[in-house]
A and B are shown apart, each in its own frame.
Chain A
């Protein structure tokens, strides 16, 4: 085998320019794919992290029909206190859950005494909310990174439009599910930076204040956001939880709860799917580049060495060995391309990170592009390139191994 490797290597070096061009083509393809994967993958992970860690949570439990309701923030579809209690008991028994946060979501009027606007609000238990969406506090650009009773976190757009600052007093007027209107004064505790996606421009107030404002006799909850210890177990946990809550029925013997992962709640999931699709397309393009370039170069190698093939066949080299000589050449081209491409990609990722490139995404400005090249991606692409190289060289290699020695020796 060592001799076959040596012969293959020498044959590649025999046509230096051609080998260099083919290996360069593969290298460029590998670099492009790895760079795209590292940048787009990091962008995707960052955005998913932003969405789940500062707003949605990893998954949410609602009363059946809440998300599909045509009403915006329907208070009539909140979970009753008894149901919330049962649900909370179930959630407390799940070891995969790191934190969960009950929310009362409602629409209200926001007044600074001179102007009035609409606002979407979340009534939350601050310590639970901050544990479930830990990046929420980083969105508070001004003011205190806490939320006490009587305080409100105002979204930045509203604060700007209504000229409201930290420690100003505002009035929130809300209509409860029975149509009764109630209003209360709140002190602005902080200004919240908006982010793209549902709930990205919501304000926050204390859970108990929401209960009071909406004149709830018992605390009713719109949703419970859940944060898992391991994000990778999201789908398996979600399926399991669905199975568990499926047994919880309402008085009409219909399912009481429904589970939604962040993917079902955020439109960014479609962007994320598009990124995955683009990555797949680029991987396929790389495969085609490798396949075509290696097949081409190996076919040329076979035609240029017909007499040599005839000679080695005549002196008794078995067809399998002739085949392996050419396959090893393709394999080596793939290995060169994968190694050099991997090294160049690693260097470029380093450069991208050193350059501190920033970008805007929706409401979010100056997001830092942190490219990450995962070893498993590097390994996957390298193995793909090498396997495709071997497959690409099979056809010319088979052709060489089946060559009639007499015809080959006569070849001029």
Chain B
């Protein structure tokens, strides 16, 4: 079932007096509960594309629908609301809140974004803590755990609200290979359990093989789509 449809997406920025086009006519579709990666060198437009899919930014032209929702019409508040209820984010630098414990960081979206009742919050957070193997570290603060553990907490935080989509911008960039593979395995496992669509960007050639569908970006253009186990499509 088609989940995301992008048609002729363009995104331009004004940098000083120069207009920079970060995305040039990008079109693609992504199916529900797929595990997709956008790859490409730095400056290829991966982060810009993820920002558009994540409703953090709006395309200059083209259309983008997630589910049945055309996200271009959102105002600031509607975007925030959509992100809070439908999208989970995993950041390259983990971006855990330093004043909250592991438990509280995972609980944050339920409490501060979705206003979920306490009993349900506790159930969801406990489940996610177990799923990412962080139950024993739940009362620790981010500065008391390792990078890999932080990213597992970030994965749990992104999934705690049962989002339809999780976006991860370079989720393994700050992790060693072993930890990076483990985090990706965790993401796949969670995808299998929760039927969540995962989209991540990377330029780390060693982990791109973990993606089931691989889109390659270059100079703001989508130059290829590759499905694992299928022939290369240009």
Contacts and interface: CB of A to CB of B under 8 A. Distances in A.
Interface stretch (B30-38, B81-89, B222-230): B81-89
A342 B180 CA distance: 55
B83 A316 contact: yes
Contacts of A307: 93, 95
A3 B111 contact: yes
Contacts of B93: 307
Interface stretch (B51-59, B66-74, B190-198, B206-214): B51-59
Contacts of B40: none
Contacts of A285: none
A312 to B, nearest CB: 7
Contacts of A312: 97, 108, 112
B98 interface: yes
Nearest to A405: B56
A315 interface: yes
Contacts of A313: 80
Main secondary structure of the interface of A (DSSP, over half): helix
Contacts of B95: 307-308, 310-311, 409
Interface string B108-149: 110111000000000000000000000000000000000000
A321 interface: yes
Contacts of A406: 51, 56-57
Given A7-B99, A307-B95, A316 B113 contact: yes
A264 interface: no
Interface range on chain B (Cβ under 8 Å from partner): 20 to 34
Contacts of B111: 3
Interface string A1-18: 001100100110010000
A317 interface: yes
A288 interface: no
Contacts of A321: 112
Given A7-B100, A316-B113, A321-B112, A409 B91 contact: yes
Interface residues of A, number: 22
Contacts of A255: none
Nearest to B114: A316
Given A10-B99, A14-B98, A312-B97, A318 B89 contact: no
B112 A317 contact: yes
Contacts of A4: 112
B182 interface: no
B97 A315 contact: no
B97 A308 contact: yes
Q: Is the interface of B mostly helix, strand, loop or mixed?
A: helix
Contact of B109 (A3, A14, A315): A315
Contacts of B233: none
A90 interface: no
A314 interface: yes
B189 interface: no
Contacts of B88: 315
Contact of B80 (A14, A308, A319): A319
A315 B98 contact: no
A270 to B, nearest CB: 55
Contact of A316 (B57, B85, B99): B85
Contacts of A317: 80, 84, 112-113
A319 B113 CA distance: 11
B177 interface: no
A316 B84 contact: yes
Contacts of A310: 95
B7 interface: no
A313 B57 CA distance: 12
Contact of A315 (B57, B100, B113): B113
Contacts of B113: 315-318
Interface in A291-323: 307-308, 310-319, 321
B91 A311 contact: yes
B77 A315 contact: no
A3 B89 contact: no
Interface of B: 51, 54, 56-57, 76-77, 80-85, 87-89, 91, 93, 95, 97-100, 108-109, 111-113, 157-158
Interface of A: 3-4, 7, 10-11, 14, 307-308, 310-319, 321, 405-406, 409
> Ordered nearest first, which 7 A-B pairs have the shortest CB separation?
A316-B84, A10-B99, A311-B95, A316-B83, A316-B113, A405-B56, A406-B56
24 contacts: A7-B97, A7-B99, A307-B93, A308-B95, A308-B97, A310-B95, A311-B89, A311-B97, A312-B97, A312-B112, A313-B80, A314-B54, A314-B56, A315-B109, A316-B85, A316-B113, A317-B80, A317-B84, A317-B113, A318-B77, A318-B80, A319-B76, A406-B56, A406-B57
Given A316-B85, A319-B77, 17 more contacts: A3-B112, A10-B100, A14-B98, A14-B99, A314-B54, A315-B84, A316-B80, A316-B87, A316-B109, A317-B113, A318-B81, A318-B84, A319-B76, A405-B56, A406-B51, A406-B57, A409-B95
